[in-house]
């Protein structure tokens, strides 16, 4: 019995020990299974990491247009720096083509206007400055005088456009005031000379009448300038100056004052004559306003002459539009003669 009981107990104990062995094996088998999941997920992380580097170049790709933009703006650099040094003085052959070469090069490269343009941030000012320099270079290389003169004229116009584009409103207003004052002083000086010469030549009557007309024009010019009509104001002052000058030439027989107007082209001469015509037409409005209102006869006479003058002006503009500036100048000369007749019909003394 004891042996049997001992054997039974041993069998029971042996069975109890075998269960933990199975249980111990189970966790061991489960552990690798639990670790297998991280091993499956681990490759996923590298995949995500591999995708990110691929995405990075996509994000930096827009940087390429920035490089293109930088290349596109590179030509702006020479506009301000590299090409602003004055070129060598014009050669003797270039000067023979047009003696204004040295004056134009100073205007473009070293004048106060040129410095203002070079210090400006205005794209238009810089663009026209470059255009002026290019035209000047072409003028120095021209083989014909007419071509050289045309290119110089275009260079000057381009340069003035550059200066105006670089000028703030205050600067422009200041320049207009300075121009007006300078012309005003010239008229005042000529009034004094005219009075003195009139006394010398015994022409006090006509001289006094002319000076009275000039004083009326000067007062009207001052009023126009105060109203902001600087162009009209300068027209009146300029015509006053011309009237005084013509009268002095007439009294002196042309000995003391010789008018020297040299134009590079017929177009330039046409432009001058057109401005002169506008100035004289303005005289009719200023000097004959009250007489035309008070006398129907004077008004009719003046209107008739002005109508003919405007017809000649229309012919001049048509000829100029077709490139025939010589014919246009002749039409403007006829138009100005009609304006002089209109002024004289209203009792206004006009010399010449």
Average predicted confidence (pLDDT) for the chain? 76
Residue 254 pLDDT: 52
Give the HSE-up count for residue 230: Cα atoms under 13 Å, Cβ half-sphere: 12
Tell whether 110 is covered by a domain.
yes
Residue 322 pLDDT: 92
Please indicate, yes or no, whether residues 158 and 178 belong to a single structural domain of this protein. Answer: no
CA pair distance 51, 55, nearest whole angstrom: 6
CA pair distance 180, 65, nearest whole angstrom: 52
CA pair distance 299, 297, nearest whole angstrom: 5
CB 339 within 8 A of CB 311: no
CA pair distance 54, 48, nearest whole angstrom: 10
Say yes or no to pLDDT of 55 above 50: no
Q: Radius of gyration (Cα) for the chain, nearest Å? A: 46
CB 125 within 8 A of CB 117: yes
CB atoms within 10 A of CB 267: 17
CA pair distance 303, 280, nearest whole angstrom: 14
CA pair distance 68, 2, nearest whole angstrom: 104
Backbone φ, ψ for residue 339 (5° rounding): -70, -40
Residue 164 pLDDT: 85
Tell whether 56 is covered by a domain.
no
Asked which of 235, 260, 285 is the last residue of a domain, the reply is: 260
Domain span at 179? 171-260
pLDDT band at 261 (very low <50, low <70, confident <90, very high): low
Residue 174 pLDDT: 79
Please indicate, yes or no, whether residues 117 and 180 belong to a single structural domain of this protein. Answer: no
What's the mean pLDDT in 309-315? 95
pLDDT band at 83 (very low <50, low <70, confident <90, very high): low
Q: Per-residue pLDDT tens for 146-179? A: 898 999 999 999 999 998 888 776 667 778 888 8
Residue 80 pLDDT: 45
Please indicate, yes or no, whether residues 196 and 139 belong to a single structural domain of this protein. Answer: no
Please indicate, yes or no, whether residues 254 and 274 belong to a single structural domain of this protein. Answer: no
CB 94 within 8 A of CB 147: no
Least reliable range by pLDDT among 45-59, 120-134, 225-239: 45-59
pLDDT band at 208 (very low <50, low <70, confident <90, very high): confident
Tell whether 5 is covered by a domain.
no
Least reliable range by pLDDT among 129-133, 204-208, 294-298: 204-208
Domain count, the chain: 3
* Mean pLDDT comparison of 4-13, 97-106, 203-212, highest-scoring range: 97-106
Asked which of 260, 275, 291 is the last residue of a domain, the reply is: 260
Q: Euclidean distance between the first and final Cα of the chain, in Å?
A: 169
């Amino acid at each position: 019995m004891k042996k049997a009981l001992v054997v039974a107990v041993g069998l029971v104990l042996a069975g109890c020990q075998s269960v933990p062995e199975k249980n111990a094996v189970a966790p061991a088998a489960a552990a690798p299974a639990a670790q297998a999941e991280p091993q499956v997920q681990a490759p996923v992380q590298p995949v995500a990491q591999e995708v990110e580097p691929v995405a990075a170049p996509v994000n930096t790709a827009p940087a390429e247009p920035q490089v293109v933009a930088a290349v596109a703006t590179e030509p702006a650099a020479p506009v301000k720096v590299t090409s602003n040094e004055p070129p060598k003085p014009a050669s003797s052959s270039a000067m023979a083509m047009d003696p204004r070469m040295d004056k134009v090069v100073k205007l473009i490269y070293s004048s106060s206007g040129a410095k203002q343009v070079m210090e400006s941030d205005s794209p238009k000012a810089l663009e026209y400055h470059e255009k002026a320099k290019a035209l000047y270079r072409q003028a120095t290389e021209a083989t014909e005088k007419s071509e050289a003169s045309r290119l110089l004229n275009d260079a000057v116009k381009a340069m003035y456009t550059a200066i105006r584009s670089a000028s703030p409103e205050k600067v422009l207003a200041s320049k207009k005031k300075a121009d007006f004052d300078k012309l005003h002083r010239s008229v005042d000086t000529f009034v004094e000379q005219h009075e003195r010469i009139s006394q010398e030549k015994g022409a006090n009557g006509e001289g006094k009448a002319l000076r009275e007309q000039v004083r009326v024009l000067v007062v009207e010019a001052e009023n126009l300038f105060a109203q902001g009509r600087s162009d009209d104001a300068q027209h009146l002052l300029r015509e006053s100056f011309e009237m005084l000058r013509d009268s002095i030439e007439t009294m002196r027989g042309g000995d003391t004052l010789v008018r020297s107007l040299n134009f590079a082209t017929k177009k330039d001469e046409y432009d001058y004559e057109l401005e002169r015509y506008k100035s004289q037409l303005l005289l009719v409005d200023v000097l004959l306003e009250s007489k035309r209102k008070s006398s129907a006869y004077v008004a009719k006479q003046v209107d008739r002459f002005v109508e003919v003058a405007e017809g000649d002006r229309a012919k001049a503009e048509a000829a100029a539009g077709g490139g025939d500036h010589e014919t246009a100048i002749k039409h403007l000369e006829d138009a100005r003669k009609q304006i002089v007749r209109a002024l004289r019909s209203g009792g206004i003394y006009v010399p010449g």
